[in-house]
Amino acid sequence: MKRLLSAFLFFALLVAAWHWAFAAGIWSPVLVPSPESVARYLWEVLRDGTLWDCSVVTMKRLLAGYVIGLLAGVPLGFLTARVQVLRDTLGVLALGLQGLPSVCWVPLALLWFGQTEGAMLFVVVMGTLWSVILATETGVRNVNPLYVRAANTMGSRGLHTWVFVMLPASLPFIVSGMKQGWAFAWRSLMAAEIYVTILTGFGLGHLLHYGRELNAMEQVVAIMLMIVLIGLLADKVLFSPWEKFLHRRWGTGK
């Protein structure tokens, strides 16, 4: 309750400061919109359904790419950790490409896939995949070998050991890789949506882009707020349960 209150006070103060800054009239209203106009815009797009539709389009793209990245990344991470040849090849590739800002995939995706959903999906998968591979590889290589020996004496072999011992044992690393992959995917998707107009779906990035074209600063700021909110929500829904589980079981953090 106390934490909720302090958070509320903090954000109320932030909005109040913004309001006063606007009211002082130092900057042109074209550059710094008032919190009221941003709220008004948000209310409008919420009522006519634009905001919801755009958010759904964006989230669909993000989730589809993210899930593909995870489903491919975790097994590939396992393989790079266990097979020397793959570590020297795929592992190095993953390390290199993970360092590449995922926005850099946008021009390539456009040329390969054109202005299609395929381009969006490709960019998101590239954002997710390499982080997940690397995190899983690190996780698997850090599994206490004693766990595997103990599991072997208890009749666990092969795939059973991978799924029920190595996978949960490397969970702390995999979850942080999932978070990083999510952050990269989110950033790259926004970049793609801002740069690329796709007729099959109008996402939040497009809304932001048209706000700039129309010089509608309240739209730009409102959509930025939405993007931040979705990021926070994803953290709470997707990762908080995992992190709570890790903290409870491993006794790490607080």
Partner 1 sequence: MTPGSEISAPPSARLAIEQVSKSFETSRGRVHALDKVSLQVAEGEFVCLVGPSGCGKSTLLNMIAGLEQPTEGTVAAAGEPIRGPSRERMMMFQESALFPWLDALGNVMFSLKRKPGLTDQERRETADYYLKLVGLEKFRRANIHELSGGMKQRVALARALAPNPRVLLMDEPFAALDAMTREQLYGDLQRIWAQRHVTIVFVTHNVREAVCLGDRVVLFSPHPGRIREEFRVDLARPRDINSVEVAGYATRITRTLKDYLEHGAGI
Question: For residues 21 and 148, which CB has a smaller minimum distance to partner 1 in the complex?
Answer: 148
Kindly state the DSSP code that residue 115 receives in the 8-state scheme. Answer: S
Would you say 225 and 38 are in contact if contact means Cβ atoms under 8 Å apart?
A: yes
Give kind and range of the element (H or E) at residue 16: helix 2-23
251 binds partner 1 (CB under 8 A): yes
159 binds partner 1 (CB under 8 A): no
d(CA 88, CA 90): 6
Among 99, 155, 158, 253, binds partner 1 (CB under 8 A): 155
Among 40, 149, 212, 236, binds partner 1 (CB under 8 A): 149
CB count within 10 Å of CB 75 equals: 13
Binding mask 93-122 for partner 1 (x = CB under 8 A): ------------------------------
The tokens for 179 are: 């978070």
Binding mask 166-205 for partner 1 (x = CB under 8 A): --xx-x----------------------------------
Question: For residues 115 and 156, which CB has a smaller minimum distance to partner 1 in the complex?
Answer: 156
244 binds partner 1 (CB under 8 A): no
d(CA 55, CA 53): 5
The count of chain residues that interact with partner 1, using the rule CB under 8 A, is 21
Would you say 61 and 201 are in contact if contact means Cβ atoms under 8 Å apart?
A: yes
